[in-house]
Homo-oligomer: A and B are copies of this chain.
Amino acid sequence: MSAGHAAYDVFRWVRPLHRAAEHVVATSLEGTPVGLGGRALLERLDDVGPQTVPQLAAWLGVSRQAVQKVVDDAIARGILATRPNPRHRRSHLVEATTDGAALFRDLHERELDDLTTLTRGIPEEDLRTAARVLEQLTTALHSR
Contact = CB atoms under 8 A, between A and B. Distances in A.
Interface of A: 1-21, 23-24, 61, 111-113, 115-116, 118-122, 124, 126-138, 140-142, 144
Interface of A is mostly: helix
A30 to B, nearest CB: 14
B141 A134 contact: no
A129 to B, nearest CB: 5
What is the oligomeric copy number?
A: 2
25 contacts: A1-B124, A2-B112, A2-B116, A3-B116, A3-B120, A3-B127, A4-B115, A4-B116, A6-B119, A7-B115, A9-B127, A9-B128, A10-B127, A10-B131, A10-B134, A13-B138, A14-B21, A16-B138, A17-B141, A21-B141, A24-B144, A119-B137, A127-B133, A130-B130, A130-B133
Nearest to A116: B4
B16 A131 contact: no
Nearest to A13: B134
